[in-house]
Structure 1
Amino acid sequence: MSGLDRASVAASAPGRQARRLAELARSGASGAPVSLGLLAGIWVLGLVTSSVVSGPSQLVDRHFAAGVVALQEGRLWVTLTSGLWADGVVGYLATTVLVVLVAAPLEHRIGSRRFAVAALSTQVLGTAVALGVAVLVRQVDWDWGLRLHIGVAVGPSTWVVGVVLVASSAMSTLWRRRIRVGLFALLLTLALFSGHLHDLVLLASATVGLLLGPAIVGRSARGDRLAGTRREGRVLVALVVAAAAIGPALAALSPHAVGPLAVLRELFRGADWSPVEVRELCAQSRAAEDCRRGLLALRLGGIGPTVLSLMPTLFVLVLADGLRRGRRFAWGASVFGQVALLALSLANFAVRFLGQDGTRSLYYGPHTPNLYRTLAPFLTPLAVLVVLLATKRFFDVSAPAGTYRRCVRLVLATAVGLAAVYVGVGYLVRDGFDHEPTAASLLADFPQRLVPPVYLQWLDPEFLPDSRATTLLFEWTGVVFWVVLCVVVLATFLAPAYGAATDDTERARRLLRASGGSALSWMTTWRGNRYWFSPDGAGYVAYRVIGGVALTTGDPVGPRERLPAYVTDFAEFAAAQGWTPCFYSVTGELRAVTDSMGWGGFQVAEETVLRLNGLAFTGKRFQDVRTALNRAKKSGVHAEWIEYPHAPLALTDQVNAISEEWVADKGMPEMGFTLGGVEQIDDPQVRCLIAVDADRTVHGVTSWMPVYRDGRVVGWTLDFMRRRAEGFRPAMEFLIASAALLLAEEGAEFVSLSGAPLAKVDAPDTDDVDETGGADEAAEEERRERGALGAVMDRVLDVLGRTLEPVYGFRSLLAFKSKFQPEYVPMYMTFPDPAALPSIGNAIGRAYLPDVSLGQGIRLARTMIGRG
């Protein structure tokens, strides 16, 4: 497609989106009679009972709203009718939006009959379960239980949420996981912080929908497999951390919040007394509870203190973004924050219950805090801390060297500057404080201005502001500091990073671009690699140490005439560390070097290469490729280059969804080492070619890594390949052929279709071959030359390749690439000591599947047995 054509497509995208929304609305109106009928009934009932403007009438509250009292009096129908009224005009408008944008499309998707069953069951059962829980809560927490007991609940959002969870059972893996985690994080937060009966009903309805979903709409073709990419795991952890941070703010927005964690709304409470009144109270007794409450209220009163109290929440949201990006610093800071919250909760518990001063407590509930309410704030950070510790392996991305030194310098400079302003201006307007401070007392007070006020109640303020100027200085100094801190930390997350050794990776990239390497050399820049740099500074070896084996990724990078020296020097470096060196997925050129050194080696994969000079997919042998190109044209599917880091979210989110589906199909984590995923395409140097139709639906995606020679790109290597399961079927043939033709126009010399691990041209690719493997005489001769251990290892890899075929399909992949009539280039593994082959085999397996658990290993074995 020409640049003009692509520009036309892009320009018309908003129009297409508008048409799609209009079509969705029309299809919803015609295909959603139950949801739209319910919406009409809700409005009619609201108007008839005069409930639209000011909420449910007394008649509705007494006879149709859900409540413990209503159930005890035998009004069982309230479990159904409570979903037919909304809470005021805002509730009715919100219900309309929910039904039109959520319920109607879901009904159109799952069918009206299933929708009706899902709505009815989740509304009735969810309400009944919530009322039962409300009765039990009273036995644990009298305050919260009493409010639930006398409360009533109405709202159609109950069955809408329930239907969403029911429908999620048949959704794609990515959205099923995100919807469930996101919704339950939100609903749990509402139940624990806001704590009203309706919040409990929502949570119970969602739980019922989760349990009944498979029975009502069935399961996804991929089942409920939990295997996912590391990238998606980071997103889910970030959601959990963000939800835990937003909870106190949600409680604060609800002035009548009664949940077990509602005590945390004190973080945002306003003032009830003036400074003069508080001083009069404290003059009588500094230890009096009213004095302490008054001092705290003054600190929390006004816009500035409220904003300052929100700053830690904002900072945690910034850290959540860092977690989403896999940043190690974000993980460490989040862990530190949760530990600090735990320490505060434990200190509060100790002061309130272990000490003898019953009046001192960091958190106050609606009434005098009890043991349960004091422990409640301890539970949330504990749960988040457990999640963070359990997922530590996801967060291994570090910023470039010096990033956090610069960050610390900037934050310290900001603090020093604010201290100078606070002391200088404060001294000039010192008569605006209730007690005139000295410069020294202002300086001593400055650190407290940076701390959210609620954490200062154990400290008695020496002076308080009593004028507009001093109030501005007293309340907003800390806000400025926290804003700078958030912006600076967020900037560190936006800095480019490539893994645990970001600076070494940057150096490796520069050397690779300057000299060049093999077709797989860009893989040396991937996360997980460590680097050995040659003494001359012109080359390097990328490796990872697993079980005492220094396993490399491809050939050494650098001038090709220096290969012998690089191999020798790296081997000596590895031996000095007590490691066994092993060069993996290397070219025949490197194997010739190691053979001359007396090393052993054998073929482990087959690289497929297309020469682009004069390439034309003509003739009978390219029939499948031409068919794919022609079908794409007829179907309105075209190829489009994108850079994943800068591509529109509408496209990248589809790529993520396609990738997650592919991983779910395997039921195992993504393989790594020489096989890339979404994380590896998130690189501005990597190009992605997507198959997209006129509606901007992505049907397939491939990624292409640059191959350098003498400072310029001479070819591209295929890495990431994913196809939408229900999309354009020959998407991969179309994309590879399109990439070859487009790159040929750009002047590239070749494209490599990369290698297929554990697969060779002469290896059997079907199961109807006898156990001897059918290898030819030359291969047998090669085995004899390597010795007994080498032959055993070769046999093990051959059997492993055949066994893993039902799960990962390496041999099928090699057969697929044969459609393009490529050149086959052997890839080898070389090693100095055949006795280390068992350790090398273990290292290779762990490199490809570093995160496989015992349960996943059992599932892998079952899958291999079941499909093999």
Structure 2
Amino acid sequence: MGNTRGAAAFAVWYLRAVAFVNFLSAVWISLGQDVRRHNQENLFTPYLLTAGFASGVFTAFLAVTMRRRKRAAWILNLGLSGAFLGLFTLAMAFPEIRRHPQNWVSLALTAAFVAALLAGRREFYAKGDRSNPRLAAAVGAGGLLGASLLAALLVTVTNRASAPSTFLERWRYGALRLVSVAADEYRVPGIAPPTWVDVAVNVLSTVFVLAVLYAAFRSRRAVDPLTEDDEKRLRELLDRYGERDSLGYFALRREKSVCWSPTGKAAVAYRVVGGVSLASGDPLGDPEAWPGAIGPWLAEARAHGWIPAVMGASEEAGTVYARHGLDALELGDEALVEVAEFTLEGRAMRTVRQACNRVRRAGYTVRVRRHEDIPADEMAFLLRRADDWRDGACERGFSMALGRLGDPEDGRCVMLECADSRGELRALLSFVPWGPHGLSLDLMRRDRDCDNGLMEFMVIELLRHAREERDDRAAPITQISLNFAVFRSVFERGARLGAGPVLRWWRSLLRFFSRWWQIESLYRANAKYRPIWEPRFLLFEKSADLPRIGLASARAEGFLEPPGLPKWLRRGHLETHR
């Protein structure tokens, strides 16, 4: 096993080294000329191609895909390098070829690379999407046609030659520029574009190559979403074990997929975003059966070359994930309020108490109902108002949001409707069930023109309503989960006397980004209720994967739009919700 991993690592580092030489030759002109002269006068050195930026991008992409253990990348590398090795071996039979030392070096490197590929073949197991070959062929054919026509158009518009030329000649010139930087020999008297046009066409060729490679090696994206049977089984687990995790109900988001334990007593719900298999919260079900669900989820991620990650796991679940090789990073804290222990009395609650009294004096009232008790026409009106008050074009949320307000299957959710003194609806809160005795915040919407303190007033009214019903209901609400405060401990400890310079710098940086992402404001909004803070963790395999996990999380939560690719290249993409 060690030999195969070492061979696979050698193949990856070989590609990285060649990519470095390519990029270096793109800026070191004399080096690039030497490499190109060697390729033209002697034998072609594998993967150096034109020894420039486009070649560097090509080999760097291959290195990345090989690092992700893509089987398709292994096949491509073995085919190309095997063909080069065969040509080298045959060419070495000629004395004029053997007398050049650099050819022996190329032969040795190619042979070592091929040997490493063969020895490490079992390490390249990640599957791609079955449609990748067809998609890559379509992108290659269509992209080459479109890029060559665009290149021909650029040459036509900027042509400075006095002699005439046909469009077919200009098209041929542009197409050759796409695949080679040595276009001087292809010039005709009627074609003389500026230098920047040649550079632009070369850049266009790099984009074209990246598009083809992306289509050929992309990870499988379209994963089977929850079926009706999956959802039924998950709801059964929530009925039995739902009180363990306040985020458990959000596993029912229907763009998620699910991995079951062999016994069916536990499950991991996840979604694949940008090559990251992103789970959220704790596994559902019996904690003793969690390893049986975590193992298949990790195995599936590795089989497809996905990066496994978990957002918002509790400390108990994080410990179990750690036994499967994942590291933990404290992501923040969840604000939990115990109904029986909450009070508005005391100096610490003075600000909240004054805000609530001010709103109550203004004539605002709150109505609390289960979704199943709201008539269909009233629910349709609430949905329209919620859409009107939404901040942005799409719903946000993934780990702590359900994303489907008013669905008939979610009748046990709780809706808070706040109306002003004229009876006009001004704000909404929706909570999902957290076991039989808890609620977890799902959605928060309000009219931007309403009075300050309205949300605090609604939360206090919910706590009052829950307290009044404790003696009247068989299953009263005893705990409520509010928003999640990212890096709460940084804000709290960084403001204390004696905080170190690193902690103060980290707090200042988070406050800077809070101008756009409400990091500090969420912490302060939750801290008003003096809640119990429950830490939540991000689980990951390798620190080098954190940037990709961060981007995938931002996309899943709706804070980043998917890359600007055509919709047909983003097959299987589902809108994120909050």
TM-score (normalised: structure 1): 0.35
- Quote the Cα distance in structure 2 between the aligned partners of 1:643 and 1:621: 32
Aligned to 1:834: 543
1:754 paired to 2:483: yes
Pick aligned residue for 1:591 from 306, 309, 318: 318
Change (3 A) 1:716 1:550: same
- Quote the Cα distance in structure 2 between the aligned partners of 1:539 and 1:503: 15
- Quote the Cα distance in structure 2 between the aligned partners of 1:765 and 1:657: 39
- Output one character per residue of 1:378-401: Cα deviation in whole Å (capped at 9) or x when no partner: xxxxxxxxxxxxxxxxxxxxxxx9
Whether the aligned pair in 1 keeps the contact of 2:271 and 2:279 (CA below 8 Å) is yes
The residue correspondences of 1:188-199 to structure 2 (distance < 5 A) are none
Aligned to 1:671: 396
Query: Structure 2: which 5+ runs fail to align?
Result: 1-223, 471-475, 565-578
SS of aligned partner of 1:696: coil
C-alpha deviation, 1:644, in angstroms? 4.8
Whether the aligned pair in 2 keeps the contact of 1:681 and 1:720 (CA below 8 Å) is no
AA of the residue aligned to 1:594: Y
AA of the residue aligned to 1:728: D
1:726 paired to 2:449: yes
Aligned to 1:763: 491
C-alpha deviation, 1:804, in angstroms? 4.6
- Quote the Cα distance in structure 2 between the aligned partners of 1:542 and 1:853: 22
Whether the aligned pair in 1 keeps the contact of 2:510 and 2:519 (CA below 8 Å) is yes
Aligned to 1:515: 241
Aligned to 2:205: none
Aligned to 1:660: 388
- Quote the Cα distance in structure 2 between the aligned partners of 1:677 and 1:539: 20
Q: Which has the larger radius of gyration?
A: 1
The residue correspondences of 1:668-747 to structure 2 (distance < 5 A) are 669-676=394-401, 679-682=404-407, 683-708=410-435, 713-744=436-467, 745-746=469-470, 747=476
Pick aligned residue for 1:582 from 290, 305, 309: 309
AA of the residue aligned to 1:506: K
AA of the residue aligned to 1:604: L
C-alpha deviation, 1:842, in angstroms? 2.4
- Quote the Cα distance in structure 2 between the aligned partners of 1:564 and 1:673: 23
1:822 paired to 2:544: no
Change (3 A) 1:678 1:562: closer
1:807 paired to 2:535: no
Pick aligned residue for 2:232 from 493, 506, 509: 506
C-alpha deviation, 1:554, in angstroms? 0.8
- Output one character per residue of 1:821-858: Cα deviation in whole Å (capped at 9) or x when no partner: 01111110112233322332222122122772679xxx
- Output one character per residue of 1:59-86: Cα deviation in whole Å (capped at 9) or x when no partner: xxxxxxxxxxxxxxxxxxxxxxxxxxxx
SS of aligned partner of 1:606: strand
- Quote the Cα distance in structure 1 between the aligned partners of 2:328 and 2:260: 24
The residue correspondences of 1:334-733 to structure 2 (distance < 5 A) are 501-516=227-242, 517-644=244-371, 646-647=374-375, 649=377, 652-653=380-381, 656-664=384-392, 669-676=394-401, 679-682=404-407, 683-708=410-435, 713-733=436-456
- Quote the Cα distance in structure 2 between the aligned partners of 1:818 and 1:681: 29
- Quote the Cα distance in structure 1 between the aligned partners of 2:552 and 2:508: 17
Whether the aligned pair in 2 keeps the contact of 1:690 and 1:700 (CA below 8 Å) is yes
Whether the aligned pair in 1 keeps the contact of 2:262 and 2:293 (CA below 8 Å) is no
AA of the residue aligned to 1:679: R
Whether the aligned pair in 2 keeps the contact of 1:658 and 1:724 (CA below 8 Å) is no
C-alpha deviation, 1:681, in angstroms? 4.9
Whether the aligned pair in 2 keeps the contact of 1:549 and 1:582 (CA below 8 Å) is yes
Structure with greater contact order relative to length (CA < 8 Å, sep ≥ 6): 2
Whether the aligned pair in 1 keeps the contact of 2:371 and 2:412 (CA below 8 Å) is no
- Quote the Cα distance in structure 2 between the aligned partners of 1:633 and 1:820: 18
State the aligned residue count: 331
- Quote the Cα distance in structure 2 between the aligned partners of 1:656 and 1:715: 27
- Quote the Cα distance in structure 2 between the aligned partners of 1:552 and 1:681: 24
Pick aligned residue for 2:555 from 807, 822, 846: 846
C-alpha deviation, 1:529, in angstroms? 1.0
Whether the aligned pair in 1 keeps the contact of 2:389 and 2:445 (CA below 8 Å) is no
- Output one character per residue of 1:654-713: Cα deviation in whole Å (capped at 9) or x when no partner: 56335433415xxx64322135376345432311112123533122211111112xxxx1
SS of aligned partner of 1:826: strand
- Quote the Cα distance in structure 1 between the aligned partners of 2:426 and 2:299: 49
C-alpha deviation, 1:736, in angstroms? 0.8
Aligned to 2:49: none
Whether the aligned pair in 2 keeps the contact of 1:656 and 1:678 (CA below 8 Å) is no
C-alpha deviation, 1:605, in angstroms? 2.3
C-alpha deviation, 1:609, in angstroms? 0.8
Aligned to 1:431: none
C-alpha deviation, 1:738, in angstroms? 1.3
- Quote the Cα distance in structure 1 between the aligned partners of 2:287 and 2:387: 36
- Output one character per residue of 1:98-136: Cα deviation in whole Å (capped at 9) or x when no partner: xxxxxxxxxxxxxxxxxxxxxxxxxxxxxxxxxxxxxxx
C-alpha deviation, 1:733, in angstroms? 0.4
Aligned to 1:232: none
AA of the residue aligned to 1:761: S
Whether the aligned pair in 2 keeps the contact of 1:610 and 1:750 (CA below 8 Å) is yes
- Quote the Cα distance in structure 2 between the aligned partners of 1:830 and 1:763: 22
Whether the aligned pair in 2 keeps the contact of 1:644 and 1:652 (CA below 8 Å) is no
- Output one character per residue of 1:581-634: Cα deviation in whole Å (capped at 9) or x when no partner: 211110011122233444211011210111122432211111123223323432
Whether the aligned pair in 2 keeps the contact of 1:531 and 1:541 (CA below 8 Å) is yes
- Quote the Cα distance in structure 2 between the aligned partners of 1:677 and 1:534: 24
SS of aligned partner of 2:490: coil
- Quote the Cα distance in structure 2 between the aligned partners of 1:810 and 1:648: 36
- Quote the Cα distance in structure 2 between the aligned partners of 1:717 and 1:575: 33
SS of aligned partner of 1:751: strand
- Quote the Cα distance in structure 1 between the aligned partners of 2:284 and 2:522: 27
Which has a greater percent of strand? 2
- Quote the Cα distance in structure 1 between the aligned partners of 2:239 and 2:559: 29
The residue correspondences of 1:238-317 to structure 2 (distance < 5 A) are none
- Quote the Cα distance in structure 1 between the aligned partners of 2:292 and 2:563: 42
SS of aligned partner of 1:695: coil
Aligned residues with identical type, % of pairs: 25
- Quote the Cα distance in structure 2 between the aligned partners of 1:647 and 1:847: 32
- Quote the Cα distance in structure 2 between the aligned partners of 1:685 and 1:642: 9
- Output one character per residue of 1:543-567: Cα deviation in whole Å (capped at 9) or x when no partner: 0012222100211001123334433
AA of the residue aligned to 2:480: V
Whether the aligned pair in 1 keeps the contact of 2:483 and 2:522 (CA below 8 Å) is no
Change (3 A) 1:622 1:719: same
Which has a greater percent of helix? 1
- Quote the Cα distance in structure 1 between the aligned partners of 2:241 and 2:440: 17
Change (3 A) 1:652 1:627: farther
